[in-house]
Amino acid sequence: MVDRPSDAERRFRKDSGRAADSGTARPSRADLPADRVPPPRAPAPPSGRTVTDGGPYGYNPYARVRRVRGGRGRGKGRRYLPWILVLAAVAGGGYHALERPEDWSDARGRLIALLAPLVDPVLSATAGPPLRSLNALVSRDTTVAAGSAVELVVGASDPSGRPLTDVPVRFTIEAGGGTLLREESWTDPTGIARTSLLMPEGAAEVVVLASMVGTELPPARFTVRGGNDAALVMGYVQGDGQEAEAGTVLPDRFSVQVVDAANDPVPGVEVEFRVTSGGGFATPARALTDSLGRASTLWRLGPGPGFQTLAAASSSVAAPVTFTAIARPADDRRQALDPAGSLPADVAYDAGGLPDAGAEPPEGVPPPSPRALDVRPGPVSVIPSRFAVGGSTVCRLEDSSVTCRGADDRGQSITGGATGARAVAAGLFHTCALDAAGVASCWGANESGQLGDATRTDQDEPVEPATTLRFFSLAAGVAHTCGLASGGRAVCWGQNIGGQLGDGSREDRTTPAPVSTTASFNRLVAGWSHTCGVTGTGTAHCWGLNREGQIGDGSRLDRLEPREILGSVRAIAAGSAHTCAISQGRVLCWGENRAGQLGDGTNEGRVVPTPVESLPGLPTDVVAGAAHTCALMEGGAAYCWGQNLHGQLGNGSTASVRRPTRVSGGHVFQTLSAGGAVTCGTTMDGDEYCWGLNQSGQLGDGTRTNRSVPTRPGG
């Protein structure tokens, strides 16, 4: 920019000249009245320097302005400069609005962007992409608990919908008080800027404005009301800011946590996940918080590129949590990196930016099992299963009918239903049973098709899956169900966003579909979003979500088809994101270990089977809840380890442990079952005991009090 003196500087020089003519002393800046002191002048940029930052050459993040060397246009262009200064004064509200140095910097930056095309002989301007809007990406009108913090998020984009990065956004409190964590925030690579507002104590209505610095764009306006009636608070855990191709599944789960006024996690709170812009859908659409107070979902983006948003809300919590994501155009694919950052460079990816389960595996990783043959109906002999612990219920067979206790918000609990049942399986919000002929029936939540009846409608009465197959065993996860048909062929239906159905895709199935393998299984278990089976020769295969290493194949890649994991397996169990098995007289575990559920004395996750420490004697069975594990030992003693927030380890305390601890009471058990934050066992005398979370009365003792020692139903 041509460096010219300001009006104030001209007056200063004129006064200095008059003083020289009269022989008097020249005035100094200190002698001038305050309103006559000119602003300090920034040095001119070197010839050819691009003006893009907030350094001494002026500040404008939206335009790049280059000074042009020499030429006749240089002298001609100077004639425009007085008009530029006049416009600066007018735009700034008069000369007095330009007295401060920052006023001059802001005005000059704005005018460079606006008038550079008019003085092209002097200034060669290459403006950045024109701004389209500054959008609020969370609710503009919300209510939270008094004194709590709420996140305010905005997104900046150009007319094509692409995010604008490194753009300053200023947050100001217009009314109501409170404190902003940051008053100015720069947009990140996804075009998002955010701050947190700490609400005042007591009832208040706070108005916050978010504006783009140096532009005339209208600000985004937020109104946040604080009150004392919101006892529970929902907070962000993980998942925000992901990016993937439009129409595909984002790789990481979106998680929130609900805590009470003492900041303790609150289980059993229903959270609804709803896409609020951009299309697509979340699955599950509704979830109960687990024993850590957490609920999560997976999100398939809508078909269009640009910002998309997902809200997590609950009727028990005043303020929702909003997640944002960027959908890339279909022709702008990028490879998704493994969370551990250790993938080999030659790993192949599918069209959604996720690892391609059909590609050649890296060296040292077992290849996928062969594709499945046709699964045909045939006679089966049902394996009796008289007890099942789900994520929110405990179910058992009584006189050949299923009776469940606990939560019934989705129709998952029935009394005296599914008559003639021989086996029962319980998921998070749905339940299934088998009759003596192997005919399956399911009831409860069905948003992902986990009931198998070709619909997505919840059912409070048993319905049969749409198949002619007969099953001898069933397993149920959070929102998927699997069964073993004649010949040990595995068939699954329901949610498949992590590949837990094992059919080589990520598409949900509302009717039973064969697993892509020729292996013949004699046992299946289902984790929250992964599945494992054991063949007649004792070989364990696993498939599905693998972000925590719960598949056990040495990677963190989702497996859309079964992978061979371990041999000589006697028993196997699957938790929310971990897996355990008994092999060669030892319990081995792998996957998530934040609560110590792998029992190896650490909190480090494992991607391969790792021995459990300090188990006395020989284990005969292993079971898993959401984040805890139990082993039944030879002789009937039960040992548990992992999360113990609700007493689910049964050792008389609520402290989590990283090594096995014996269940209290000296009971001799013949069977164990676990799910969610509950453990149950049946003694050699046939007596039933349960312990752990009892928020919905699932322990059956007539109370809603958690129990940290084995407790008989009925008191």
Tell me whether residue 318 is in a domain: yes
Tell me whether residue 619 is in a domain: yes
Tell me whether residue 364 is in a domain: no
Tell me whether residue 568 is in a domain: yes
Percent of the chain's residues with pLDDT above 90: 43
pLDDT of 626 higher than 80? yes
- Nearest one of 616, 654, 655 to 638, comparing CA atoms: 616
198-253: pLDDT as tens digits: 888 777 889 999 998 888 888 999 988 776 544 688 888 888 888 888 888 887 88
pLDDT of 475 higher than 60? yes
pLDDT attached to residue 104: 45
Pair 687, 705 in one domain: yes
C-alpha–C-alpha distance, residues 143 and 479, integer Å: 32
Tell me whether residue 461 is in a domain: no
Pair 493, 562 in one domain: yes
Last residue of a domain, one of 127, 158, 180: 127
370-387: pLDDT as tens digits: 344 457 677 788 998 889
324-344: pLDDT as tens digits: 888 888 643 333 333 333 333
How distant, in Å, are the alpha carbons of 65, 83, 94, 606 from that of 98? 22, 16, 7, 63
Q: What is the CATH number of the domain that holds 700?
A: 2.130.10.30
Pair 282, 202 in one domain: no
pLDDT attached to residue 235: 86
Tell me whether residue 395 is in a domain: no
Residues ≥6 apart with Cβ < 8 Å to 93: none
C-alpha–C-alpha distance, residues 456 and 619, integer Å: 41
Pair 107, 253 in one domain: no
In the numeric block, the tokens 């200064």 are attached to 85
Question: Burial code of 419-438, b = ≥16 C-beta within 10 A, e = fewer?
Answer: eebbbbbbbbbbbbbbbeeb
pLDDT of 369 higher than 70? no
pLDDT of 548 higher than 70? yes
Residue 245 burial by CB count (10 A; 0-12/13-18/19+): exposed, middle or buried? buried
Pair 592, 705 in one domain: yes
Pair 520, 542 in one domain: yes
Pair 325, 245 in one domain: yes
pLDDT of 467 higher than 90? yes
Crossing angle of helices 81-91 and 101-115, in 10° steps, is 120
166-181: pLDDT as tens digits: 889 999 999 988 888 7
C-alpha–C-alpha distance, residues 17 and 151, integer Å: 58
Pair 220, 241 in one domain: no
Pair 105, 195 in one domain: no
Pair 555, 683 in one domain: yes
562-599: pLDDT as tens digits: 999 999 999 999 999 999 999 999 999 999 999 999 99
Q: What is the CATH number of the domain that holds 224?
A: 2.60.40.10
pLDDT attached to residue 570: 94
In the numeric block, the tokens 């990677």 are attached to 555
pLDDT of 349 higher than 50? no
Last residue of a domain, one of 77, 99, 127: 127
C-alpha–C-alpha distance, residues 326 and 332, integer Å: 12
Indicate the pLDDT class of residue 118, thresholds 50, 70 and 90: very low
Pair 91, 140 in one domain: no
Tell me whether residue 542 is in a domain: yes
- Comparing 37 with 704, the larger pLDDT belongs to 704
Q: Are 570 and 510 in contact (CB under 8 A)?
A: no
pLDDT attached to residue 134: 83
Last residue of a domain, one of 127, 157, 183: 127
Q: What global pTM score does this model have?
A: 0.57
Tokens of 640: 């548990």
Tell me whether residue 409 is in a domain: no
* HSE-up of residue 564 (Cα within 13 Å, Cβ side): 17
Q: How high does pLDDT run on average in the chain? A: 78
pLDDT of 256 higher than 60? yes
Mean of pLDDT values over 78-82: 53
Indicate the pLDDT class of residue 345, thresholds 50, 70 and 90: very low
Domain count, the chain: 4
pLDDT attached to residue 608: 94
Pair 214, 244 in one domain: no
Q: Which domain holds residue 558?
A: 481-711
Phi and psi dihedrals of 74, rounded to 5?
-65, -50
